[in-house]
Each structure stands twice: as C-alpha cells, then as structure tokens.
Amino acid sequence: MFIPENHKIEKNPERIWLSSPTMHGPEFEYMKEAYDTNWMSTVGKNINEVEKIAAEKAEVKYAVGLSACTAALHLCVKLAGERLYGKPAISHGAVEGKKVFCSDMTFDATLNPVVYEGGIPIFIDTERESWNMDPVALEKAFEMYPEVKLVISAELYGFPGRMDEIKRVCEKHGALLIEDAAEAMGATIDGRQCGSFGDYAAISYNGNKIITGSSGGCLLTNSLEDANKARKWSTQSRENAPWYQHEEVGYNYRMSNVIAGVVRGQYEYLEEHIAQKKAVYERYKAGLTDLPVKMNPIVEGTEPNYWLSSLIIDESAMCKQVRGETDVCYMPEHGKTCPTEILESISSINAEGRPIWKPMHMQPMYRMHEVVGRDGSLRCRTNAYIAGGVEDIGADIFQRGVCLPSDNKMTAEEQELVIEVIRGCFE
C-alpha cells in the first residue's frame, strides 16, 4: 500500500466521497411546500412536476414516480411480461419460466426483478470497447435462444454503450427492450437521451446518483395505458370503487411527495452536475495519462454524464491479486499494482473508491445461469476471467478495474492528492 510521505500521519481532513448528494436550496423549499400544504403522502404537486420534468428530460411521453429505480424496473418487467405473454394467473409471475437476456456487468437490481416475476436470467457478455452489453453477443444469444422476447440492458457508470444497436437487434428478433438508465440520466447517444431507447426504461434518484431525492426513481414509457397501469400497481392496485377493491396484485411503490420535492429541486442542476463530473473525469485522465491504465471508454457518438470515473489497469501492470467470495489478497510488486492496493491506498488518505461491479454470472446466486460471449460461446459457473480458452470480458474488467472518488464537490487539490496516491502505487 502506498502513502505519500507528507500524508503518512494526517489524513485528508474532509472525506473525499465516491459520489455524495449535492444540495442547492430549492429542494428544501419544495419539501417545505409539501409540509406547509400537508401533502405528505404519495400524491401532490411535487410528484406531478417530477413526472412532467422527468419525461421531458428523457424525451419520452410519460414518467411514473416510484419509491426506487428497482421498483421501476420491477414494473417494467411486469408490463413487458403481460404485453408479451398475457396476464398471468395470480400465483405466477409475468415472465414465469421464461428466459430473459440481461446485462452481465451491472448491479443486481437490474435483473432481480426478472426473478421476482419468475423469469430465468441469461447473461450477455460485456463489450470491451464500452463496458456495456455487447450487441454482437446479443445477436449470438438470439441465434441460440430464438424463443427469448425480452432484454434488460444497463448503462454503466453514466458511460453509455450502443443502446441504439441493442434496440435494433431486439426489433429484428421481435423482442422488447427494458433500458436500465439508473446511472445514465442526462447521457446521450447520437444526441438522443438515455432512457428513451427502451420500450420501457427506469431512472434512479438514489443518494449517490447524478441528481438525487435520497431515494426514488421513475418508470419511463411512451404508452399512456402502461403509465396508468404502473401507477395503479404502485398504489396497491386499488380499483375505482367507493371501498378498497382489489382484482390483481399491487405494490406500495409510489413516490412520496416529500421525496419528490427534493428531486424536483435537483432537476434544475442536472446539467451543472454533469459538467462538474466531466471536469473530474478530465482531471483524472490528464493526471494519469502516462500510467499503464485506461479510463472509462467513451464510445464514438455518445456523451456520458460522467457519473463515476473509473480506470482499468493494463494487464502487464497488474501485480498478483486473488479474490475469494468476501475477501481478497494481493502481492505488492515494484512497478505494478492492482485494484485492491489502489483502494487501500486512497482509503488511507480518507478517500472512498470501490471495485468495478462484479459480473452477475460470477455471483453465487447466479452461477448456474449461462453467459453468452460475442463468439457464441456459452459459459456458466466460472470464476476465472479466461474460461476454456474463451475470454470472459466482464470478469477481466472486474479483475483489473477500480471506481475512483468522483464526487462533484471534490476540490482540484483533493483530486490531485488522489492522483498522487494512485501514481505511487505503480512505483
């Protein structure tokens, strides 16, 4: 572990966060409005305004304010499942027994809703050039499983891949696309907003996202019928009757009008936050330029929101690192480093980082599920990043990748200290 000589005793006095909320003032006023008018539940002006703004920003017709992005993804799966397969029996999920193609390198919230609804995730390997779902591998997957009619694709760390190509592959095979834009709000592909490519999409207002409500999310759709259905499901599926009448399963998923006040105030600063995050990325790129590392890839024609700046260490510059299920060890080596050493070193100066997402096919609960590579290879139960001679892109990025402190309130001086520590890890 490397610690700069002049920082061995004193840590940075302020915590340098991975990505923390940034409040401005209007958020409190909108929250106070909910308080003063006594609209403290799941109806009110703030929710109405958030839904209007969210739809406009994402360039879709309708948004449904929900308690979390995971809730939005769950209702996306229900909507897609019923559209594809019809309304299920009350004891069955919307995709019961159906295979669903899912991003492999993502947070498990992307695909857990598939399991909620009885589906079987099949993972599509990651494209090295974008760190997102590989459209070539998706095409191969459809050749292997032509019966599949639903795809869930996430956009990693605010750096989108080719969601437009993924959409074209889905259309070619008559499949619906759910776009998990939780991390990519405000990012674009050829000028088109992320969140507008899917038949259904979800965005997040979690506490560490580009804008936040402390929690919350929105389901995005161009169908008024589907938007209204999602609103009904999110309020326990209450029927239009003078008593509490229920004809289908519902959920307590509606966004709070108080939380919506925070989100409403945050939207005014989305572009400002993106500019600040971009400046963080550019400083890392300049400060690490001569090291054997690469920053998050930016695909031609895309404009990221730069939510989390990350790097991947060149394979030739990796020291030995072994990860178990919940622990890790490494062997320091002159001129080389690994994600664990970098994370320990920046932690020593009171800065927060984290490993790249561990791919879903490497997670204990999903190891029996297949992952499809761009060469048409089919793998499962692998914990190595070379499986049977076939390169496992997602596992390789996980092995060598690090998410860096990316807080938009981090000063240039604080970031220079982080960069100094990273550089020292290669000495």
Summarised one tens digit per residue, pLDDT across range 178-232 is: 999 999 999 999 999 999 999 999 999 999 999 999 999 999 999 999 999 999 9
Domain extents for the chain? 5-20+270-363+384-425, 26-269
Parallel/antiparallel/unpaired status of strands 176-180 and 188-189:
unpaired
H-helix or E-strand containing 193? strand 192-193
Question: What CATH number does domain 26-269 carry, 1.10.10.10, 3.40.50.1000, 3.40.640.10, 3.40.50.300?
Answer: 3.40.640.10
Contact present, 249 and 241 (Cβ < 8 Å): no
SS (H, E, C) 120-185: EEEEECEECCCCEECHHHHHHHHHHCCCCCEEEEECHHHCCCCHHHHHHHHHHCCCEEEEECCCCC
Q: How far apart are CA 104 and CA 142, in angstroms?
A: 16
- Which amino acid does the sequence have at 323? R
Q: In the prediction, which pLDDT does 146 show?
A: 98
Q: How far apart are CA 1 and CA 35, in angstroms?
A: 50
Q: In the prediction, which pLDDT does 391 show?
A: 80
Q: In the prediction, which pLDDT does 387 show?
A: 44
Q: In the prediction, which pLDDT does 384 show?
A: 45
Contact present, 16 and 351 (Cβ < 8 Å): yes
Q: How far apart are CA 64 and CA 52, in angstroms?
A: 9
Phi-psi region of 147 (alpha: psi -120 to 50; beta: other; left: phi over 0): alpha
Contact present, 248 and 265 (Cβ < 8 Å): no
H-helix or E-strand containing 295? strand 293-295
Q: Any idea how long the chain is?
A: 427
Q: In the prediction, which pLDDT does 383 show?
A: 44
CA neighbours closer than 13 Å in the CB half-sphere of residue 355: 22
Q: In the prediction, which pLDDT does 389 show?
A: 52
DSSP 8-state secondary structure symbol assigned to residue 333: B
Q: How far apart are CA 12 and CA 265, in angstroms?
A: 31
Q: In the prediction, which pLDDT does 316 show?
A: 98
Long-range Cβ contacts of 8-12 (<8 Å, 24+ apart): 11/348, 11/349, 11/350, 12/349, 12/350, 12/351, 12/414, 12/417
H-helix or E-strand containing 79? helix 69-85
* Positions in the chain short of pLDDT 70: 2-10, 380-390
H-helix or E-strand containing 82? helix 69-85
Q: Can you give the pTM of this predicted structure?
A: 0.95
Token pair, residue 216, equals 């919350």
DSSP states along 337-376: B-HHHHHHHHHTTTB--EEPPPPGGGSGGGTTS-EE-TTS
Contact present, 423 and 376 (Cβ < 8 Å): no
Q: In the prediction, which pLDDT does 5 show?
A: 58
| 5-20+270-363+384-425: CATH number | 3.90.1150.10
Parallel/antiparallel/unpaired status of strands 310-313 and 293-295:
antiparallel
Q: In the prediction, which pLDDT does 385 show?
A: 45
